[in-house]
Structure 1
Amino acid sequence: MAGEQYGLQKQSIEWVKSQLNEQVEIIDVDPLTGGTSSKLFELTVKENDQVLSYVLRLFHKADWLEKEPDLARHEADSLQYAEQSGLLVPHLIAYDETGQENGVPAVFMTKESGSVVLQPTHDNKWTDRLAAALAELHQIKAEDFPYEYFSYNDAFLLEKPTWSKVQNDWMRAFYIVSGNRPKVRECFIHRDFHPANVLWENGEISAIVDWVNACRGPAGIDVGHCRVNLAQMYGISVANEFLAAYQRHAGNLFVYDPYWDLVSLIDTLNGSPTVYPGWKAFGMKGLSDELVRHRLDDYLLSLLDRFDDF
């Protein structure tokens, strides 16, 4: 059966058909690049002489599911909430919360038009559009959204990073993050907003994808997460350009605090930093593990300077 050669089992094919129409014909199954924490497949379906594309996400990592067994329901809830709020996101078709139908938990959704752009021709416009989309997302208060923000790393438990050339500065950062958190306005946050989760078409954003981590929390976490990604990919100047653009679009709704940048940076630590595989999958060239580590050190120092001036 089509799809099994790509790691998609017959049971998933049958489940997908049952969510659409038993008479549909699945004419193609392709694994999608860029995903690192789940398996993604594009399914091309023919129904009533119409050809449509869908995405099936399979949550296959046991360690992640052990920590968050509700991943499929979480993304399903997030997609519905985001769509109802008017955001450009995939439309949820169905989800398999426990994996009973697919062997592992799954989310089935529409495939949105557009593609990931990591090497933009017009940098300023690209950065500005990214910031505008995030600022629009953060206008949603999400007071009734059940998922709440939490940090991925406990700064109390982190050890001096031996890979870094400024190890003592990292220890200072851990100390700052371990202190009292500033009070902020909470809103709807994506929690994994970065260029590889944004689709573009004709120079405009066509969709934001990968909503499994969405929650209610501080806007600064989304801003900081995108900034630490940009700092690794392009350097501090682009990360700062994004912050300035976001501040313009968010206006009075956002009060910058470098604390959230520092939390976002520390949340990325998991051993010695390496180039994120998704960037390579989407054609990002010229990065090395050594360069990423160097840029993270530089970015850290720039944030600590902000604390001195804050």
Structure 2
Amino acid sequence: MGVEQDTQGWDTTRSWVEKQLAGAERVEAVVRLRGGWTSEMRRLDLRGPDGPRSLVLRSFVKPFFVQHAEGLLTREADILRLLADTDVPAATLVAVDATARHCAHPSLLMSHLPGTVRPGDRGADARADLLARQLVRVHRLPVTARQRPRAYQAWTSPERVTVPPDTERPGLWRRAVDLICREPPAHQGCFLHRDFHPGNVLFTGPDDDPRISGVVDWVETSWGPADLDVAHCSTALALLHGVPAGLRFADRYVAAGGTLAEDDGSHLYWRLLDALGFAPDAEKVAVPWRELGRVDLTAGVLTRRLEGYVGALLDRYA
């Protein structure tokens, strides 16, 4: 097939995929998609009587995610069905095998969206404005009590934070950790993507006039405070483009019509809860970003940016 892929069990998975296709369609080529961290992503190029089209196959292959795949993929399938009737540019669900009953690994098959992930600095401000507007639309999605996703889960806690071992500002980190040693602030819940950041948004058009063509990776969708989604995207922007980009995103979100916690202390809690989850070095996010060309994002660069961002949050909101 002229493809780059782990072929273990592929025949089994391909057989399942082809059972989901229309008419005489067949898989003509398989292309590994770069930039994923939790999953192996493949674009499947199809050929059939009605012409070519493409689908995307998400498969969990890492042991940790295989263990949790049933909940993650079932949630994503449910969310994609829900989003089909909205103006959020999400993929259309084709099929899901969350327990690997038919596939080599737990997998979800969906439509292929146009566009690419753009992690570069060029055009980052224009894209950040679009990210803020899109996130407001996600948070405003009307859902019934039955459709409401699970309550959010925190991705760190005071006792789990790992301080960069060579930091020259240990007091900064102690202060930040102390500020999340409390009960979560009271908040109004809304529909959260929960992993909204530039790596999960596709863009088309030139850098000076981009358009969002897709929002992907809905496995962590939750119900919780808008501040938490804003915090996660803000941290990612700070790591990708520098501390000022991370600080400005909340302002962009409010300017786009979004609503955040009224008091700075509550907002700071959510911002720090997210940022501290990346300590000590944010290396986890660096791997897919480097695959997409950001080879400048070394562990040292990310550690400095994360520390600078935490310090800037304390300066502004504490």
TM-score over 0.5 for the alignment? yes
Amino acid at match of 1:229: A
**1:283 and 2:293 are equivalent in the alignment:** yes
Distance 2:95 2:247 in 1: 39
2:20 aligned residue: 19
CA contact (8 A) 2:32 2:41 kept: yes
Amino acid at match of 1:24: E
TM-score scaled by length of structure 1: 0.91
Q: Secondary structure at the match of 1:148?
A: coil
**1:268 and 2:271 are equivalent in the alignment:** no
Change (3 A) 1:114 1:157: closer
TM-score scaled by length of structure 2: 0.89
Change (3 A) 1:4 1:125: closer
Determine which of 212, 229, 249 is the counterpart of 1:205.
212
Change (3 A) 1:123 1:103: closer
Distance 1:259 1:158 in 2: 14
**1:255 and 2:265 are equivalent in the alignment:** no
2:108 aligned residue: 107
Q: Secondary structure at the match of 2:84?
A: helix
CA distances 1:264-297 after superposition (whole Å, capped 9, x unpaired): 112223x543261111122224222111111111
1:207 deviation in Å?
0.6
Q: Secondary structure at the match of 2:52?
A: strand
Distance 1:105 1:163 in 2: 40
Q: CA RMSD in A?
A: 2.0
1:168 deviation in Å?
2.5
Q: Secondary structure at the match of 2:155?
A: coil
Over the matched positions of the two proteins, sequence identity in percent amounts to 29
Change (3 A) 1:158 1:238: closer
CA contact (8 A) 1:127 1:241 kept: no
2:48 aligned residue: 47
CA contact (8 A) 1:164 1:293 kept: no
Change (3 A) 1:159 1:238: closer
Distance 2:166 2:139 in 1: 35
Determine which of 227, 231, 252 is the counterpart of 1:224.
231
Q: Secondary structure at the match of 2:269?
A: helix
Q: Secondary structure at the match of 1:180?
A: coil
1:7 aligned residue: 6
CA contact (8 A) 2:189 2:226 kept: yes
Amino acid at match of 1:128: D
Structure 1 runs of 4+ with >4 Å offset: none
Change (3 A) 1:141 1:3: farther
How many residue pairs end up in the alignment? 305
1:126 aligned residue: 127
Distance 2:288 2:316 in 1: 30
CA distances 1:113-141 after superposition (whole Å, capped 9, x unpaired): 11111225434322211111111111125
Q: Secondary structure at the match of 2:220?
A: coil
Amino acid at match of 1:282: L
Gap runs ≥5 in structure 1: none
2:74 aligned residue: 73
CA contact (8 A) 2:43 2:55 kept: yes
2:180 aligned residue: 177
Distance 1:123 1:69 in 2: 35
User: 5 Å matches for 1:89-104?
Assistant: 89-104=90-105
CA contact (8 A) 2:203 2:212 kept: yes
Change (3 A) 1:228 1:77: same
**1:293 and 2:303 are equivalent in the alignment:** yes
Q: Secondary structure at the match of 1:65?
A: helix
Change (3 A) 1:160 1:268: closer
Amino acid at match of 1:255: A
Distance 2:108 2:68 in 1: 18
